Structure 1
Amino acid sequence: MITVKPTHVLIASLSLLLSANALADFTATPSEARAIAKEAYLYGFPVVEMYKTLYTQAVDQRSSNFKAPFNQIGNTAKVFTPEDSAFVTPNSDTPYSFVWLDLRAEPMVLTMPAIEDSRYYSVQLIDLYTHNFAYLGTRSTGNKGGHFMIAGPDWKGQKPTNVDRVIHSESNIAYALYRTQLFEENDLAKVQQIQQGYKVEPLSKYSEQPAPNSATRVSWPKPVASMSDSPELFRYLNFMLTFAPVQPVEKEVLARFAKIGISAGEPFNVSELTVEQRQALEAGIADGKAEFAEFKKTKIDTHKVTSGDFFGTREHLKGNYLYRYVGANIGIFGNSSEEANYIGYFVDNAGKPVDASKQNYMLHFDKGALPPANAFWSLTMYDGKSKLLVANPVSRYLINSRMLPDLKLDADGGLTLYVQHASPDKDKQSNWLPAPSGPFYGVLRIYLPKPEVANGEWKMPQLTPVDQ
């Protein structure tokens, strides 16, 4: 028997968000508004960045990044290239599959096929706050496949006997991001075969029962250019918050946000702000950006914090909205630390920002000191301005552990990679990772990292400048 509790907010009211003429009560003084806006900006940025991806992948069918409508799977049987711009800092080792889940009417059942033990695959389940609330796949459920039900916060019912596990999302909109490991270019056909085994079905169809009433149609607001870094952000935040009931731990936070007009389902018309109110909100947003810039300089670039601090469950993040913001800013939809470790190369061994228009670099791994991974490792290059993959004459966007047989080892058995814009000498070209002619950053991903990554036994190498 499938039972569905009515959604806590009438979704029909969503269409009013862009057309209503009255801003919700704005009761904060200018100084209060500035402080609240800073906190709300850090809180809401990941939510709004997620909405950008949702809109381009599941709503706007004219978008070059459109993947599939809600509750349908969109497969990309290719690796990401510089042309793919739906989200920043993508990996190019694992062709993606995408499912935007609308869980308002009923749960969805995700079926995973059985695959060979040597291949990594996963489904990262992300709620609208960008929390990674669960995983399916190699680490979490194994490579034997299975049937997994994803239920929204309003669903009440019993686990069907033919479902392996029920997983609850605290939001009615969720993202299922699939990764299927690609061994080499001629392996694409096998990846495509695996992707065809991924299935997504409403619980009623999977259980062969009558379908419940459809959820109310949503009027999705079109993104605007300033939506992530201006008071416009709060308009989209109000919209997104209608898809999730307030969590007890955030009641006080959201009550504070309400003083500047942030409330689920309420209109937020920036044009109705007074000059003083708008200035206060803009100053608060600037304060949030400044805190991030300082944090990046002193904590991220110096590797005093790791990617594992920024991605994970609500329980893992413990209300640290700055950390959640950092994750969305430098690489939204990053994996939790158990699934993958990310090491960002933003500066060289002297702490200077890396720029391939001014300098060549090398990254050296001692013999026996390659990144310790139970799945695989990969170093990927990104443009420092666009945060996307870097176009280059050899179409090489990364160097990974599957490429080791084709790489040239040092005389002592170590491995040196050459990170630069211009092609190096012929004897070094196999180990060349092309960089843009300007600022860049690299991300070293370690999938299913071994314990020595977390406990510090393995030491990451530094990017070292070399003569051009």
Structure 2
Amino acid sequence: MRKRYLTAILASTALCAFVPAAHANDRAVLTQSQAEELARDAYIFGAAFVSNYRVFISLLLEGSPLMQGAGFNEFAHNREPFPPETADTTQRDTLFSLGIIDLRREPIVITVPDVPDGESYMLQMGDTSTETLPYISTLTTDNKAGDYVLVGPEYQGLLPADRFDGVITTRGQFIVMLGRTTLNDPNDLSAPHAIQDGMQMRPLSAILSTTPPPEVPEFDFLPWDAEKANGIGVFDYINMALAWHPPAISELPLMARFSKLGVVPGEPFPAEDYSPEIVAAIEDVIAEVNEAFEESTTSMGAMSGNWRWDVSDVSRFGTDYYRRSATAHKTIYPNAPDHAVYGQTYLDSEGNQLTGASGATLRFEAESFPPTQDFWSLTLYDAETTAMYPNPAERYKVGSKTEGLSFAEDGSLTLSIQHEEPTDPEQRSNWLPAPEGDIYLVLRLYGAEPEVLEGNWAPPPIMRR
């Protein structure tokens, strides 16, 4: 039988050749107001690339312990859940597997194993612009083993279509992978470890037994400097990152316009071409946009009662560059809602700040448990530390996988959220321990059912005791 071939997306980077580089005399004729307008638009377009680079360089180049010494195109499997005292609203639902994928030399093949019923995983990948690529997950593979090839913008070869279970193309040369494998039993990690052990990253040439392409030169990554990134120097980071992410055809006019300011992929930003007055004006614009990002992310997302509950897709942005950069500013790489929906609240049903001292209850009626294909969890956090609350009971969350919960005769479940241990045995079974001070709750639905995604289910209110 004749082998079929699938042509990958070809030479997207060639589009960069059409982006004109502006000269110093072009910038010399810019008025202050013109420079401010260009800087505002270019920064809104490029800020997400900088947010991505900050994560990228932290994980790979600054020796993050999460990477466990792994380099490009290697899985870094974290074998234990986050300790409860870890800040930044981490979770203990899954074990993380991280990776930084370099597609400059050739495509990378991601292999996943057969996964037993009741177990699950998802591999989320974000490109240089923070756009989420198609998932490789329990939902997309039906837990079957497979090989999935990730193809970057410079690849010009042919792929045997019947050799792979999926082809994912991207304009990004560097991809950040955030893998999560479900932790069903915190006392037995053998099942998620087996899934992690079955995951591989390999170059295409190793899979096809062909001669690998020539090695690509090492890249001189800019060291991260927070002060520089908050000033006009941010455009050096933007120019560097844009060289790893060729523009779409629809973006070429934007690139041509931004080049008048000096925003040109792969080129140093010519800050020295501007007067001190214009530099100060551009830096004021950057500060104003960052403040707007902060304000918009504070109010971002729909509300359901006093829950911030948004089932819209904030993992892919199209041409909404402001939303892309504002999202990356606060919550980089949000999940696609069909894979995970998160809700958060600091308030009870009457709008009062939740505290462990005052206590609260959350009741799920028998017919209104969170509808999921996988599972749900409710995790409690200390509002001061943004960490889970270390407690003698070692209970940091409750959910559909929690054993020993006490259900009422009508099938409902009432959770007790408070600092003091309940004396009633049933309430103790359903106790979510809290510090005395301010707290917040995060409800996570993994594999939400269509009724959630269609807006026909929302979390019940938190009732003050």
Question: Considering the TM-score relative to the shorter chain, is it more than 0.5?
Answer: yes
Distance 1:252 1:439 in 2: 49
Distance 1:178 1:253 in 2: 34
**Which residue number corresponds to residue 215 of structure 1?**
216
**Which residue number corresponds to residue 459 of structure 2?**
460
- One-letter code aligned to 1:409: F
Aligned length: 444
Change (3 A) 1:241 1:457: same
Could you say what secondary structure the match of 1:281 adopts?
helix
**Which residue number corresponds to residue 20 of structure 2?**
none
Structure-to-structure mapping, 1:291-302, within 5 angstroms: 291-296=292-297, 298=299, 300=301, 302=303
**Which residue number corresponds to residue 137 of structure 1?**
137
**Which residue number corresponds to residue 447 of structure 1?**
446
Distance 1:84 1:137 in 2: 26
TM-score by length of 1: 0.83
**Which residue number corresponds to residue 70 of structure 1?**
72
Structure-to-structure mapping, 1:251-262, within 5 angstroms: 251-262=252-263
**Which residue number corresponds to residue 128 of structure 2?**
128
Q: Is the 8 A contact 1:43 1:325 kept in 2?
A: yes
Alpha-carbon displacement from aligned partner over 1:51-92 (angstroms, at most 9, x marks no partner): 22222222233x33334100111101111235657xx54432
Could you say what secondary structure the match of 2:391 adopts?
coil
Q: Is the 8 A contact 2:150 2:168 kept in 1?
A: yes
Q: Is the 8 A contact 1:65 1:84 kept in 2?
A: no
Q: Is the 8 A contact 2:66 2:78 kept in 1?
A: no
Structure-to-structure mapping, 1:392-431, within 5 angstroms: 392-394=390-392, 395-403=394-402, 405-410=403-408, 412-420=410-418, 422-427=419-424, 428-431=427-430
Change (3 A) 1:7 1:253: closer
**Which residue number corresponds to residue 81 of structure 1?**
83
Change (3 A) 1:230 1:423: farther
Quick check: 431-440 or 193-202, which moved more?
431-440
Distance 1:334 1:197 in 2: 25
- One-letter code aligned to 1:156: Q
Identity among equivalent positions (%) equals: 30
Q: Is the 8 A contact 1:59 1:66 kept in 2?
A: no
Q: Is the 8 A contact 1:24 1:268 kept in 2?
A: no
TM-score by length of 2: 0.83
In structure 1, runs of 5+ residues without a counterpart are 10-21
Distance 2:280 2:198 in 1: 52
Distance 1:285 1:345 in 2: 31
Distance 1:23 1:82 in 2: 57
Quick check: 194-203 or 357-366, which moved more?
357-366
Distance 1:383 1:27 in 2: 54
**Which residue number corresponds to residue 312 of structure 1?**
315
Q: Indicate whether 1:267 and 2:268 are aligned.
A: yes
Distance 1:37 1:434 in 2: 49
**Which residue number corresponds to residue 244 of structure 1?**
245
Quick check: 334-343 or 51-60, which moved more?
51-60
**Which residue number corresponds to residue 362 of structure 1?**
361
Change (3 A) 1:298 1:112: closer
Q: Is the 8 A contact 1:79 1:95 kept in 2?
A: yes
**Which residue number corresponds to residue 163 of structure 1?**
164
Distance 1:53 1:29 in 2: 35
In structure 2, runs of 5+ residues without a counterpart are 15-23
Alpha-carbon displacement from aligned partner over 1:16-60 (angstroms, at most 9, x marks no partner): xxxxxx999476543444444444444333322222222222223
Q: Flag the structure with larger Rg.
A: 2
Please provide the CA RMSD for this pair: 3.4
How far apart are residue 232 of structure 1 and its match? Answer: 4.0
Could you say what secondary structure the match of 2:141 adopts?
coil
Distance 2:48 2:458 in 1: 31
How far apart are residue 135 of structure 1 and its match? Answer: 1.0
Q: Indicate whether 1:336 and 2:347 are aligned.
A: no
How far apart are residue 103 of structure 1 and its match? Answer: 0.3
**Which residue number corresponds to residue 281 of structure 1?**
282
**Which residue number corresponds to residue 389 of structure 1?**
387
Q: Is the 8 A contact 1:24 1:261 kept in 2?
A: no
How far apart are residue 230 of structure 1 and its match? Answer: 4.3
How far apart are residue 437 of structure 1 and its match? Answer: 6.3
Change (3 A) 1:324 1:118: same
